Amino acid sequence: MGLSLSKRVVNTLQTSPEFDSACTTVFADCLSLSQQAFAGVRSYQLFSATERLHAILFHTVPLVSRWVPDPPGRIQVDQALKAVISRRTGGEEKITLDEAQFKEFEVEVFAEAVVSMAGKEVLKSVPLGVVGIAGFGAVVKPGKDLVAAAIGAYALGVVTSIYFSLGK
């Protein structure tokens, strides 16, 4: 699905007041659950924090409602943590994310989840439509060029539709 889709999703999440508010709420919950023992969210709290954030976002952020029906899995959480850690200095000893880093982490998790689901939708939708167009072409016999053009237009339409649905 490419880098531009990912940037579009990241921008949508970063500028969403609902996403920002939900991250602040979940961050405060994590601090409360650890009884303020740490200055931020510890790595062992991230999976459950992501689940709680998904529960909030699913009802308030249309991008998440449409593209992330289930909370991101542990693998996505771990990959996002590695991505955030690789951008900061100081190594991996006793990882604690402050509020800004926590939001960066959650943007990473949910952007990857959205782009992944959008890619799956393309892989599901395009072949079905192509088969339908090719079947129609076999019955009607309008010519190979017309069928090829219709298939190309359909594929472009599906991809464009998904691309625009990833924005605001």
pLDDT tens digits for range 73-122: 999 999 888 888 887 765 555 678 888 888 898 988 988 888 888 878 77
> Mean pLDDT lowest for which of 4-13, 68-77, 111-120, 141-150?
141-150
pLDDT for 23 beyond 90: yes
Would you state the pLDDT for residue 50? 94
Give percent above pLDDT 70 in the chain. 90
pLDDT for 2 beyond 60: no
pLDDT for 22 beyond 80: yes
Average pLDDT over residues 120-135: 75
Tokens describing residue 21: 């508010």
Would you state the pLDDT for residue 5? 66
Task: Confirm if 63 and 12 have CB atoms less than 8 A apart.
Answer: yes
142 DSSP assignment: -
CA dist 110 and 126 (Å) reads: 24
Chain center to CA of 135 = 34
Domain carrying residue 46: 3-165
Task: Confirm if 166 and 8 have CB atoms less than 8 A apart.
Answer: yes
Taking residue 19's Cβ as centre, other Cβ atoms within 10 Å add up to 23
Task: Confirm if 84 and 107 have CB atoms less than 8 A apart.
Answer: no
Report how many domains make up the chain: 1
DSSP, collapsed to helix, strand or coil, labels residue 40 as: coil
Would you state the pLDDT for residue 1? 44
